[in-house]
Amino acid sequence: MINIQKNLGKVLNLVFALTFFIIGLLIDIIGKNFETQPIYKDIFKILTFLFFYFYIKINWKRESVPLRRLIAILIMGVILITITLALSILSINFEFQEKSNNLIPVNFLTILISNFVTLIIGVSSLILLFAIKDIFYYKQKKHTARNFLILNLLLLATVISSINIDPLDSRLITNILFGLFIFSSFVFSFKMPWIVYLTKKDKVLTILFTFLVMISFSVLSLLYQNSTQIGKLILYSSPGIYNFTKEIFAFLIIYSAIAFLSTIFHLPTADAFDKKMSEISSLHNMSKLITQVLDFDELVSTVTKTTLEVCEAESSWLEINKTFLKSNNKYRNLEYDTNFYVISHLNISTQEIALINESLKTHLRDRIILDKKPIIIQDFKLERNQSLDKGVNNKVSSLIAVPLIARNEIFGVLYATKDIEYGFDQEDLDIASAFADQAAVAIENSKLIEKSIERERLVREMSLAQGMQQKLLPQRIPEIKSIEIEAFFSPAFEVGGDYYDFLMIDENNLAIVIGDVSGKGISAAFYMSEMKGIFQSLCKIFPSPKDFLVKANEVISGSIDKKSFISLVYATLNLETGKLRVARAGHCPIIHASENETKYVRPNGIGLGMGNSKLFKKFVDEIEIQISKNDVLVFYTDGIIEAHSKNGEEYGYTRLLETVRQNWQKSAIEIRDEIISSVNNHTNEEPPFDDITLIILKWFGK
């Protein structure tokens, strides 16, 4: 909808402009032999250019680079000069008779040419006005719009004051307005902030182009004097447009002349300004790099490159402490000859860097580490040990070195060199130090981000391992009519080394296993998963608990670490008779709670992996217990008895036995919850120190 309205506005403005132009042309033709022209002729001419103004405004695209607009103005000036010179050659056919300050064309061709020349020059002047506005508004200040409005009002007032005036006549008010416009042009043209922001190259081009603009529009002003034949062509058609054109040309001459002089005055400081802009740009890019760069190699490469730009140096390199580097996976296994490693370099080789360091009387890095201050060397020859000088240092005549500091410790040094003596000054050192601070933050952030990513990866892997371990444990409790079973498992970390399981050996016998791998975390979880495979493979082959443990020890001893072992309780329960056969491999004793007593059952045994088969078999015993109706068996790991309060007191065997004794008549799930609640109350809800596993078995048989 907006585009339709815009296109409609273009068409209507162009149609109205051309319509009024044709009406004005017809009025000139009809009034050829009249000594005076009607007032409405000037009105139609002004309306023509007013609608052309609106047409240009709709189509105009603002240019934000003043130099480009300056070039466009120069091109238009050259085109107008070419057109004017061409018309001057043909001016013998365009003659006027002068009578009482009036111009009377000698033929109709003169009228036609006069109107078309006025149209071309007038529209060109309008385009120049918009080009002037683009330059005028660049880096605009608070009063820019007001100043430009004043110039436009003076232009419009001059045009209006020229209505119904003879071509060769002049009015006092018109001359006053013209003078005010010239004065305002001088005043407002001194405000040119855009020149300050030009580079040295652009300043040189600006000097050239402003000079050419000044010359070209000065020539045009001379060619369009009211005494020239070309000037008379426009004066006859419209004195108002003639005055408007003169003012535009005059403004361009004044503005370009002042811009020319101003740019010349700014030229001596162009190098310093370019350097400052380069420093600001480089520091700005570096500040963005702090949050954007995740690749360490790309970061250090950018640091050396930006150092080269900031200091306008010939070469640059960055050394980082090997301790800092070893925190990065990529550089962890590198062989380091010294405490510092050249991680990035530009326009200089590592061999040349090594030779530079060897030839110095005192190593720069040692001085920096000692003083924690940047160093500037203006004449490198004075710092060299001539007896060790191998000639490569001739390319280094001056040097600066600044430390990279994190947490008040120097982890790197940044160097920049030039091939001339006294190539650096205090300002260079200050900017290099500021840049080094930014670089230190960026590199430190890169290190922290890498650690964060590594930590996140480990968390994901641990979460995956936790999920896998949960799948290794029984997914559901066996549903058997004669018994009630409940279990509880809580790892101290993401994964743990505790294990429990159930398996029906045959229709009448249930195998129960609970174990604990020494240690915690991933390694313990690995052995736990291996134990599951052993249990499910051997329990039906070796129904005797002792035989099972002996064979399990034989299998696990071949793979378990010598510093590790597995404690285990393995039991089989006959669901018909209530006979429980149990063997223990160094694990916590089980609890048997009945109507008569609550006691620990402690068959002898050592942990799996703690001895060869012969020794293990010697120390492992198997006992048989007859359980009665409503008796309770409690299997658990040492995470329960070793759970301690804030003052270090363990929960212990006595509290556990007492808790079972007080609650044995309850259901299995209630007994389980009472034990867990008792442990939590003792530890005051502190996080568990070890994995906690608990099995409650209540028999409802004979």
Give the mean pLDDT of 422-447. Answer: 79
Give the mean pLDDT of 162-176. Answer: 81
Judge if 146 and 215 occupy the same domain: yes
Lowest mean pLDDT, pick from 219-223, 394-398, 604-608: 394-398
DSSP state of 601: E
pLDDT above 90 covers what percent of the chain?
A: 19
Give the mean pLDDT of 310-332. Answer: 78
pLDDT at 91: 58
pLDDT at 215: 93
Q: Is 50 inside any structural domain?
A: no
Lowest mean pLDDT, pick from 146-160, 300-314, 522-536: 522-536
Judge if 680 and 572 occupy the same domain: yes
pLDDT at 100: 75
Confidence of residue 180 (pLDDT cuts 50, 70, 90): very high
- Top-confidence range, 218-232, 455-469, 491-505, 597-611: 597-611
CATH code, domain carrying 381: 3.30.450.40
pLDDT at 294: 60
Residue 65 has pLDDT above 70, yes or no: yes
Residue 11 has pLDDT above 90, yes or no: no
Using DSSP bridges, classify how beta strands 632-636 and 590-593 pair: parallel, antiparallel or unpaired: antiparallel
Structural domains counted in the chain: 3
- Phi, psi values for residue 643, rounded to 5°: -60, 130
* Strand partners for 599: 592
Give the mean pLDDT of 468-494. Answer: 79
Confidence of residue 226 (pLDDT cuts 50, 70, 90): confident
> What's the Rg (C-alpha) of the chain?
49
Give the mean pLDDT of 494-518. Answer: 84
- The average confidence (pLDDT) of the chain is 82
Of residues 388 and 331, the one with the higher pLDDT is: 331
Q: Which two tokens stand for residue 556?
A: 């696990």
Domain that holds residue 595: 478-699
Residue 284 has pLDDT above 80, yes or no: no
Of residues 496 and 422, the one with the higher pLDDT is: 422
Q: At what angle do helices 239-266 and 39-59 cross, to 10 degrees?
A: 40
pLDDT at 521: 60
Q: Is 205 inside any structural domain?
A: yes
Judge if 190 and 238 occupy the same domain: yes
What order do you get walking across the sheet with 409-418 strand by strand? 340-346, 315-321, 409-418, 398-406, 375-377
Residue 242 has pLDDT above 50, yes or no: yes
DSSP state of 347: S
Of residues 307 and 579, the one with the higher pLDDT is: 579
Single out the residue of 78, 79, 108 nearest to residue 93, CA to CA.
108
Confidence of residue 458 (pLDDT cuts 50, 70, 90): low
Lowest mean pLDDT, pick from 40-49, 283-292, 336-345, 397-406: 283-292
Residue 272 has pLDDT above 70, yes or no: no
Q: Is 423 inside any structural domain?
A: yes
CA–CA distance from 536 to each of 540, 580, 619 (Å)? 8, 19, 24
Judge if 441 and 495 occupy the same domain: no
Of residues 552 and 275, the one with the higher pLDDT is: 552
Which of 451, 470, 503 finishes a domain? 451
pLDDT at 514: 92
Residue 392 has pLDDT above 50, yes or no: no
Judge if 88 and 191 occupy the same domain: yes
Which of 245, 264, 283 finishes a domain? 264
Residue 632 has pLDDT above 90, yes or no: yes
Which of 451, 468, 492 finishes a domain? 451
CB within 8 Å of 262: residues ≥ 6 apart: 190, 192, 195
Judge if 226 and 336 occupy the same domain: no
Q: Is 501 inside any structural domain?
A: yes
CB atoms within 10 A of CB 497: 31
pLDDT at 379: 83
Q: Any alpha helices (H) in 293-337, and if so which ranges?
A: 296-311, 322-325
Judge if 225 and 104 occupy the same domain: yes
Q: Is 52 inside any structural domain?
A: no
Judge if 125 and 239 occupy the same domain: yes
Judge if 228 and 128 occupy the same domain: yes
* Strand partners for 581: 572, 624
Judge if 239 and 361 occupy the same domain: no
How far does Cα 40 stand from its chain's mean position? 65
Residue 528 has pLDDT above 80, yes or no: no
Q: Is 668 inside any structural domain?
A: yes
Q: Which two tokens stand for residue 375?
A: 């160093």
Judge if 335 and 424 occupy the same domain: yes
CATH code, domain carrying 540: 3.60.40.10
CB atoms within 10 A of CB 206: 25
Judge if 423 and 515 occupy the same domain: no
| Per-residue pLDDT tens digits for 573-591 | 998 889 999 999 989 999 9
Q: Is 35 inside any structural domain?
A: no
Give the mean pLDDT of 209-215. Answer: 92
pLDDT at 667: 92
Q: What is the pTM of this model?
A: 0.51
Q: Any alpha helices (H) in 381-494, and if so which ranges?
A: 426-472
pLDDT at 223: 87
pLDDT above 70 covers what percent of the chain?
A: 85
Q: Is 287 inside any structural domain?
A: no
